[in-house]
Structures are given as structure tokens and as C-alpha cells.
Structure 1
Amino acid sequence: MHPDHVPDWTPPAGAEEQPRQVRRILRLFRPYRGRLAVVGLLVGAASLVSVATPFLLKAILDVAIPEGRTGLLSLLALGMILSAVLTSVFGVLQTLISTTVGQRVMHDLRTAVYGRLQRMSLAFFTRTRTGEVQSRIANDIGGMQATVTSTATSLVSNLTSVVATVVAMLALDWRLTIVSLVLLPVFVWISRRVGNERKRITTQRQKQMAAMAATVTESLSVSGILLGRTMGRSDSLTGAFSEESERLVDLEVRSNMAGRWRMAVITIVMAAMPAIIYWTAGIALGTGGSAVSIGTVVAFVSLQQGLFRPAVSLLSTGVQIQTSLALFQRIFEYLDLPIDITEREDPVRLDRVKGEVRFEDVTFGYDGKGGPVLDGIDITVPPGGSLAVVGPTGAGKSTLGHLVPRLYDVTGGRVTLDGTDVRDLDFGTLARAVGVVSQETYLFHASVADNLRFAKPDATDEELHAAARAAQIHDHIAALPDGYDTVVGERGHRFSGGEKQRLAIARTILRDPPVLVLDEATSALDTRTEAAVQKAIDALSANRTTITIAHRLSTVRGADQIVVLDSGRAVERGTHEELLERGGRYAALVRRDAQLEPTR
């Protein structure tokens, strides 16, 4: 590994203790602490106003009505109405602010995960199902919506209400308060048990949702549909999806029913508390104890009923938070992924790239597993020169090409551009300097013009047309009903393989990189289409440093230098004529191609 490039690694979320994970969640809200402080003030104000209502009710029952004080009665009744109005207004405002903050936190998380994944090396995506990545961003972050938008506010609001209500209950009658709260520790214990159970089930459910997302992404893509139909596997794929969905149904039911009976018992007990309060007050009065006024009993029951809603909600919120920890843990796993391809703190920026590429004693292996894919490669390509890399399947040809734009980093030696290690260059310089055209052309589900402008967003229509002409595709595009506004379809399936390749070449011409890597760009094409695409490649390669990875040798005969790879080593090098005269590996590959050429 390059000494200046240390992976940005932090312990995975699964290894964190729960308190540490909670602190990490709280840090997500730090940028919005000002707005959260306003929410706290609104919550406190709403709680105080709502707690005042039972005291107004006590005064009405114990003073205003018995003493016939209509003026006081009117004032107290007006106070109760005003209390309800203020509580509702404060509630709407706190919901607006807290929802906005929650959505901003979700936006920050989505962006952070997407940005992290954009920085991952190609190796990560070759071993990860696309649906799994999509599920983390859509399902896991989407599943946290209730937590980050309302749960935090609900926690503060209900906790404030509970504390204020308990204080008010103690002020009214401490004996009745003890009776009301004696079972609270049991309720808290039950809710924690339920929360832990739901957290375990939620982890399983999210994994199952990710598996379903991957199945949908793979089997319902254009390529997946074509494969399923032509192989006669549509019914079996539907059956497999049905089994996946059935497992999800079971997990959803288990998640929703986890602890329901226990929570129902809590609800029943707390709903029965008013009867217990009335009974306790009646017993105290009947046994000659200190009398409790009717107004006090009614006000206390009103407070106790007011305590019932936030207390149950608070217990449920605790369950929800424990459940959400499983979702946060899955998101933090992605945020903590080590980044293999990093930019150094003081990267080199090249204003002008000549295009000299050197491979200096390059060695490469995947994750340190197995033998090296490349071993001791030394190659120099001068500015404007052309290198062809050939060899049998699995020789390491594509891997060699991927090292130039830093899709992977070498594990030994170095790759340089104009004498500078590519690992020392800033990403912007490297992206402008090296263009890649591969066998697997990717086009977005957008218009032809939008696909071309992906390389140069500010390109004019004239520049688009010039690039398309150079790529031998302009006439075909112009003949379409919508011209350059034609939507290419999912992965470009409205175009043939050769047309997609020429669109990719036009896109690269538009970017105008001084170094070009052609990774088997014509190997999947028929001979006639290959000839048309080769004209476009010749236009693209003019006056550029070109590295061509080729399986067919018909396209590399004019290269300045041909290197034959075998088992990761450069076993031959020279021009086409020199290698033929040598009669070695390259000559054998040429004879193979001649035998495979279709007879006319």
C-alpha cells in the first residue's frame, strides 16, 4: 500500500456499545441544535399549559361553583379554553420544526451513505449485490423516518409532560401519587424487554428486505427479464420471489406483534387507575382518614388520565428507539466502510497532461487473497503512443487497465502519469486525464444528449454533434424521430451493441482525455459492427496515449508496442511483426484468431 494512503477506518457500528451508538445518533442532530432548542421551549410551554388545566378545574369545583362566584367561574373557564388553544398551537409548531429537522437528518444520512459509496473501490461493488446497496439507502434510512422526525420530539414532549404531571400530582396529594406510580418500574422493565425483542426481529426484517430488493433489481432489469424469458425461468423466479415475500410477511407480523400482549396489560392497568384512585379516596374518607376534596379527586384523576397518554407513549417510544437502533447500526456499517481509494491531503494537480504512462514493477492482488493477479509489470507508454495488452482470459489484462484511472490501487510498485504516481494526483486531474471505454457500455435512462453531456455538462449542441460525427453515430441519431432528445431506455436497450459503443466513444471524445484506456471495447461485436466501431476508436485514439486491452488481435496490429500477459506476467513484448517473427505466445494467439475468423 502507498505509504501516504492510509484507509479511513473506524470500528464497525456492530462493535460499538449501545451508549456509544446512541451518542453517535445524537451527533447527527448537532447541526440543528438551535431549532431543537426552540422545539424544547415549545414542548416545555405546552406541558406547563396542559398541567394548569386540572388546577383550574379544581378551583371551579371547590371554589367558584360552591361559592357562586360567577366572575371567577367565567375567568377559570376561559383559562381552560385558552390552555387548550395554546397547547394545540404549540403542538403544531413543534411538529413542523421537528419534522423539518428530522427530514434534514435523513437527507444528511442519505447523502453521507451515497457519498461514501461513491468513494468505494470497484472491488466493493463487484462483491456486493446492487439491491443490497439500494436497500440500505431506501429501506433502512426510510425506516428511520418516524424515529428522526417524530420519535425524538415525542420523547422530549412525553418526558416533560410526565415529569410536570407527576410534580402536579404530588402537589395535589402525595398518597394518591404513590398509588398511581407504584407499578411504573414494572412497566419500564416490560417495555425494555419488548424493545430488545423488536430490535432483533427488525435486524432480520431489514436483511430480508435487502434480499428482496436485490432479487427485484436483478430479475426485473431488462437483462434479467431477457434471461428469465429465454431460459423459461419466469415461473420459478416468481416462485422464488414469493418465498422471499412469505418470509418477509412472517417477520413483519412478528415485528408488529412482539410484546403486544404485554403492552396491552400495561394499557389495561393504566386505564383502570381512575377507578383505583376513586376507591382509594373513598376508603380514606370512609375510615376517617384525612378528607380529600371532590375537586382534588377530580383534578387528580384528570392529571392521572393526562399522565396515562404520555406515559404509555413514552414506553412505546422507548421500544421504537430500541427498534431503530438496528436500522442505525446497518447505516453506520456503510458509513464505516474503509475507503481503499483515497486522495492525499496535498494532492498534485497537473494543469497540462502530456500523457506518459509508466508501470514500474507493478504487483496487484485482490484483498491479499490468493496469488497476485499482476506480478512485476514494467511498461512505458510515451505521450501519444499506443500500447496493446493481449493474452488469454484471466491473464490480468483488464486489471492492468483499471490501475491507470485508479479503479484499483497497486499492492506493489507504482503507476505514474507524466512521472507522478497516480495515487498522488488529485481526483479531478486523474478524471480529466484518463478516459475509459469498456466492453460493458453503461447508458442512463435519459436522452442521448443527456448521456453525452454526462462527460461535459456544459457542452453545446455543436460539440455534441461533432463528437457524434467522430464516433460515426451522428447520422443514426439524427435519423431518430426525436434526434438527440431520444430516450435511450433502461441501460440503452433501444440501441444495438455497436450503437451503444459508439455513443460511449462519443461521450469520451467529448471529454477529450489525453490518455485513453480501451478495455475490450469491440470484443462483443460482430465483424461488420466492429469495423464501424473501430473507425470511431481510431478517431478517438488520434494524438492520445492509448492503452488497448484486447481479446481479438485484429484491432491491435498497428500498436506501437504489444505486451503479452500470461498469469499476471509480461511474457512477450514488441511490435506485431516482431512478435510474429518470434513465433511465441503472440504468434499462437494470432493463429487462434485466424482459426476463429468466420469464413466468407
Structure 2
Amino acid sequence: MGGPGGGGGGHRGAARVSGRDEAAQRAANADAPEIPNLLGRILDLFRPHKPQIALTIVLVLIVAAIGVFPPLLTQQVFDRALFPETGGVDMSLLWMLVGTMVALWVLSSLLGIWQAFLTARVGNRVMGALRTRLFDHLQRMELAFFTRTKTGVIQSRLQNDVGGVANVLSNTVSSVVGNTVTVISSLVTMLILSWQLTIVAILLTPILIIAQRRVGQIRARIATKTQESLSEMTAITQESLSVSGILLAKAFGRQGDESRRYADENATQIDLQVRQQMSGQTFFAVVSIFISVLPAVVYVIAAFLITGGAQDVTAGTLVAFTTVQARLLMPLMGLLRVALDLQTSGALFARIFEYLDLRPQIVDRPDAVTVPADRLGAIAFEDVVFRYPDAQESEPPTLDHVSFEVEPGTFVAFVGASGAGKTTIGYLVPRLYEATGGVVRFAGVDVRDLDQSSLTDAIGIVSQDAYLFHATIAENLRYAKPEATHDELVEAARGANILETIESFPLGFDTVVGERGYRLSGGEQQRLAIARVLLKDPAVLILDEATSALDTVSERIVQHALDAAARGRTVVAIAHRLSTIRDADVIVVLDHGRIVERGTHDELLAQGGAYAALHSEQRANA
């Protein structure tokens, strides 16, 4: 039967068996998703920074315009100052020309520093906004998305993919504008110096552009495969180097297997990185050869022109022309590199926008209302049917036409064999999942008509897995109520029967609990989770097998804390150990998604049915 935990565990097991061959095959089959209007959406990222981009473009244009003059001044230095027709060196003219050239270079450098600062700031702000936007969007995704997606894969989209486009975001605008203007101004200058030599200089440029497009397509495909491999490496790291993963590996002696699994994926990553780096090397080697050889070709053509009687090809013209030619070819090469980067980064942008285009399946309706205060704590299921999103059509539903009502302040418990649908009920009340059929009501209102934030505020959940952050006890408690005072923390801890334990620590509430609370015992973690819920002070408390993983002594202590937390609230208890729900107002027995019995503990024992059988089985195994 499909369930919320089905997404992650299967991937982990498959990865262990597969090894490098499957990793390489997965990378080979990776393709970037098709995103309509991808370029337009990338440009939209820069829209909030129009003033800075406009200023950057102005600076780039000024720097490019300044760059036109030094070659022309170089021509004058040679033809009029160093080797004038009258003979001798004109020192006054030379000093003026050289001084002007130096002043232009200094001004160009200072403006270049300013422009680089603007582009770096805009690029990094765009990247930061994109990462924040993606994180915020993922926060709004439904629980089912996270149960079917590896945490490491999600982390890779946030870190590796967004980080992979950082260079494009930071340098594309200035590089494209600057290099384009430089190329155009260089061409104009070259035409002024000699139109014949200009034709020779640009003759092979179209061939380079065609080659660039082909190389870019190859690099884009490799980039997608590289990011898929990075995602898998991040997932392996997140799984294997967490406290739980390390404990599991050590407990079963599988450290070597974990290292080999990482090494296999790392080998795939190395292969892809080498391919990505080498995919453009031949192209750029050809470009470099072209740049190196072209001046020699210009000299030969110039010789033919001079022999043919051309009067405008002087020594100064040749020196200036080859100087401008270098200014043409380097920016042209820069444009080709930008085009390659854009094609490569397009695959990464597509992966980012693929996540941004995901639509949460559980959202507030436009006319959503807050939870009514008069029926706060009332819960009702009306003919509810539910299937998990990854369940097969041939499988029976997890909940099959379930109906019940819970009045405010009632303690209701759900029991049954594993897979009977108990936990699913706990998911549907706070609308972590959406019922496939029927209606779930809270405070008399269909949960689909309620504002999610107000619904969440009214419900507190204590599960078997008491998740704690690697932070202090106070910070973990204040996750429920950031503005809570120290006195409120003390009161919540006292109510959860954990205050004495906290005060026994040298740092008290400032004690760091470690990753996932591993510095605390299981019972202490659970009581701290209960204190966190008490600080929230919800109207409804959902206990999802909150003591099933504890030993008898810890269970007894935690149960006392739960009993105190339950006073004055509606309590929905999903129970494995029947001893914890003996005093429930009503016990609902589930079997294969259907309600088969309901009543008090004594009533159900007297019936001698499914509940009585469960009770007898647990007593026999006690």
C-alpha cells in the first residue's frame, strides 16, 4: 500500500545495489526539461535591477568608446611623431599623444572597476533572489512532494544548480554589451584604417560562430548530466553522513559500501566534469590559432597591397590595425564564450524553472475563512476515501469510506494493525494530504474552505519522530512561538515534565541538543517535543504513536506529560500500544482502511472482536 514514506527508502536501496553502471546510465539519459520562453524568463530575473543595469550599460559604452581612440593615436604616434615625412622625432607631439593614451587607459580602468562592481552586485542579488524564491516555493509544496523526492536532490537544485548559473548572472549583461560594442567600434576603426585588411580579418568569423553553436549544444547536454550526478552525490551525502545514516552504517558494518557508493558516483562526476571542460577546448584552440595566425596573414596581404601601390597602408596603419584586430578578436572570443555559457547554463536554468513551475496541490481557496471559534476542536470525517499519490490503481484505498465525529474536548484513539490507515487520519485533519473523496471537517467547516495558516495554528502534532534542530533547547522550543518569554519556556517545560532535566544541564535552556537531538535520550526528545507543542497551545492535539519507540520507563514518564498536555483539548491519538489509550472517550478500530469497531476500552473488550484480539495479543507479548 502506498504511503508517505515510500519515496525515499526505495531510492536508497536501489542506489546501494546499482553501483557505478546505473549512475553512469542515469547521467547518460539525463535531459534538460523543456521550458517555454526560457530566455524571456531569465531576462525577467533582471527586471528589478533596471537602473543598475542601465548605468552598467552606459559605463560599458563609455569604456568601449574610449577604446576606439588608442589605436588611432598609435597610428599618429608612428606616422607623425616617430617617423614623420619631414624626418626626425616630434617630441612635443609624441608627449601629447602618449599622455592622451595614458589618460584614456587610466579613465577606462577606473570606469571598468565601477562597472565590475555593479555587475557583481546585480548578478549576486539576482542569484540570491532566485535561490530565496526557489526555497520559498518549495516551502509551499505539499507533503507528498517531499515524500517522493530525495532531500539531497532538492538541496542540489538550491545549491548546485543556482550556483552553476552564478557566472552567467554576474557577467552576461556587461560581457554581451561590452564585447558587442567593442567589436562594432573595432570594426569601424579597422574600416577607417583599411577596408581591404578588414575584409581579410573577418573572413573566417562565420565559421567560428557555426562551430560555437555546435559546441554549445554538446556542453548543454553534458551540463544537465553533470547536475543530475551532483544531485545524486548530494543525496548520498545527506543520507550517509547524517547522524542516522552513520549509525545505520556502523550498526550493519556497511561503511565500506557507503564509501564505494559515493566513489562510484564521484567517478561518474569526474568523467562528466572532464567531458564538460574538454568539450570546448578544440573549438577554442582553433580560435586561438586563428587569432595567432591572422596578423601574419594581414602582413602578407599588406605586402601585396603596398606592392600594388596602395598609399594608405603605412607602418603606422599596420601597427594600429593589428592592435585593433586584437581588440576585435578577443571580444569576439568573449562573445563566443558567453554564448557557450548561456547554452550550458540554459540547462541549469531549465532545471530551476522546472521546480518553480511545480504547482502545490494543496492551496487556499480565494474565499478561504479562518477557523470558527465557536466549534474549535470539533472534527468530522464524512465518507472519506483516500489514496496516496504514488499508490497503484489496483491497490485498495488507504481509507475506504470512513465516517466519524469528534466533539470538542474529546479524547479519541485510532487503533489497528500496521497499514490500517491510522496515521493517514492524522495527516488529513491538518490537511497535510487532501482527501480523495468525501469531506474532512474541522470546527464544522470543510478543511478545503479554511485558511491553512489558521488551521495549522489550531493543531499541534507530536509524532514518534520528535524532530529537533541542531540548536539550543530554548531555540527548539521557540520554533513554536518565537516571541515566547523565558517564563513561558519554563512553564511549557514543567508541563511536559522535562524542566528538571533541563535545569540539570550546566547551560540549562542554552544547552545545544545536537543534530536531531542526539544528545538527549528518546524520552527526553519526546518530552521536549511535547513542551514545544504546549508552548504553541493548540486546540487539537494529534499524537501519532508518540510513545511507541520508547522503553517502558520512558513511556511512562512521557505518557504522564501527554496526559497533562491533553487536558482541555481535543486529542486524536494514533496508538500502537493499547495501554496508552485505555482512558480514551472513544476508541475507533480500523482494519484495511475501514472502521470495524468503536467504543470505550471496556465496551470493546466486552464485544470480543478485533480490539479484544489486539489487546490479548499485546498482553501475551508483554
Q: Is the 8 A contact 1:13 1:21 kept in 2?
A: no
1:16 Cα deviation from its structure 2 partner: 2.7
- Report what 1:417 is aligned to: 442
Q: Is the 8 A contact 1:401 1:549 kept in 2?
A: yes
Instruction: Choose the corresponding residue for 1:192, options 198, 213, 216.
Output: 213
Q: Secondary structure at the match of 1:445?
A: coil
Instruction: Choose the corresponding residue for 1:510, options 535, 542, 551.
Output: 535
- Report what 2:14 is aligned to: none
- Report what 1:9 is aligned to: none
CA distance in 2, matches of 1:389, 1:460: 36
Q: Is the 8 A contact 2:233 2:262 kept in 1?
A: yes
Q: Secondary structure at the match of 1:377?
A: strand
- Report what 2:196 is aligned to: 175
Instruction: Choose the corresponding residue for 2:34, options 9, 15, 28.
Output: 15
State yes or no: 1:393 paired with 2:393: no
1:306 Cα deviation from its structure 2 partner: 1.1
- Report what 1:25 is aligned to: 42
- Report what 1:58 is aligned to: 75
CA distance in 2, matches of 1:351, 1:474: 34
Q: Secondary structure at the match of 1:341?
A: coil
Show CA shifts across 1:115-147 (max 9, x none): 111111111111111111111111111111111
Task: Give the counterpart letter for 2:238 in structure 1.
Answer: T
The residue correspondences of 1:239-250 to structure 2 (distance < 5 A) are 239-250=260-271
State yes or no: 1:80 paired with 2:101: yes
Task: Give the counterpart letter for 1:314 in structure 2.
Answer: L
Instruction: Choose the corresponding residue for 1:569, options 573, 587, 594.
Output: 594
The residue correspondences of 1:118-197 to structure 2 (distance < 5 A) are 118-197=139-218
Task: Give the counterpart letter for 2:35 in structure 1.
Answer: E
Show CA shifts across 1:140-172 (max 9, x none): 111111111123321221112111111221222
Aligned-residue CA RMSD (Å): 1.5
Task: Give the counterpart letter for 1:460 in structure 2.
Answer: T
Q: Is the 8 A contact 1:13 1:332 kept in 2?
A: no
CA distance in 2, matches of 1:142, 1:206: 11
Instruction: Choose the corresponding residue for 2:453, options 384, 406, 428.
Output: 428
CA distance in 2, matches of 1:592, 1:106: 59
Say which is worse superposed, 155-164 or 174-183, in terms of deviation.
Answer: 155-164
1:291 Cα deviation from its structure 2 partner: 4.1
- Report what 1:258 is aligned to: 279
- Report what 1:369 is aligned to: 392
1:546 Cα deviation from its structure 2 partner: 0.7
CA distance in 1, matches of 2:425, 2:581: 17
State yes or no: 1:46 paired with 2:97: no
CA distance in 2, matches of 1:262, 1:331: 29
Show CA shifts across 1:93-121 (max 9, x none): 11111111111111111111111111111
Q: Is the 8 A contact 2:588 2:597 kept in 1?
A: yes
Q: Secondary structure at the match of 2:360?
A: coil
Task: Give the counterpart letter for 2:507 in structure 1.
Answer: D
Normalization by structure 2: what TM-score? 0.92
Show CA shifts across 1:58-108 (max 9, x none): 222223441655444333222211111121112111111111111111111
Instruction: Choose the corresponding residue for 1:500, options 518, 525, 531.
Output: 525
CA distance in 1, matches of 2:210, 2:217: 11
CA distance in 1, matches of 2:296, 2:540: 84
Normalization by structure 1: what TM-score? 0.95
Instruction: Choose the corresponding residue for 1:382, options 407, 410, 415.
Output: 407
Q: Secondary structure at the match of 1:342?
A: coil
1:290 Cα deviation from its structure 2 partner: 4.6
1:40 Cα deviation from its structure 2 partner: 0.5
Instruction: Choose the corresponding residue for 2:259, options 238, 253, 256.
Output: 238
Q: Is the 8 A contact 1:13 1:336 kept in 2?
A: no
Q: Is the 8 A contact 2:35 2:353 kept in 1?
A: no
CA distance in 1, matches of 2:582, 2:524: 24
Task: Give the counterpart letter for 1:28 in structure 2.
Answer: L
Q: Secondary structure at the match of 2:201?
A: helix
1:359 Cα deviation from its structure 2 partner: 1.1
CA distance in 2, matches of 1:94, 1:404: 55
- Report what 2:332 is aligned to: 311
CA distance in 1, matches of 2:533, 2:263: 43
Q: Alpha carbons of 1:564 and 1:492: their partners in 2 closer, same or farther (altered >3 Å)? A: same
CA distance in 1, matches of 2:301, 2:423: 83
- Report what 2:558 is aligned to: 533
CA distance in 1, matches of 2:542, 2:176: 56
- Report what 1:201 is aligned to: 222
CA distance in 1, matches of 2:93, 2:368: 77
1:308 Cα deviation from its structure 2 partner: 2.0
Q: Alpha carbons of 1:13 and 1:266: their partners in 2 closer, same or farther (altered >3 Å)? A: closer
- Report what 1:337 is aligned to: 358
Q: Is the 8 A contact 1:284 1:291 kept in 2?
A: no
CA distance in 2, matches of 1:244, 1:418: 51
- Report what 2:28 is aligned to: none
The residue correspondences of 1:94-113 to structure 2 (distance < 5 A) are 94-113=115-134
Q: Alpha carbons of 1:393 and 1:322: their partners in 2 closer, same or farther (altered >3 Å)? A: same
- Report what 1:592 is aligned to: 617
Say which is worse superposed, 331-340 or 511-520, in terms of deviation.
Answer: 331-340
CA distance in 2, matches of 1:222, 1:304: 60
Q: Which runs of 5+ in 1 are unaligned?
A: 1-11
1:333 Cα deviation from its structure 2 partner: 1.3
Q: Secondary structure at the match of 1:37?
A: helix
User: What is the number of equivalent residue pairs in this alignment?
Assistant: 584
Q: Is the 8 A contact 2:34 2:350 kept in 1?
A: no
Q: Secondary structure at the match of 1:272?
A: helix
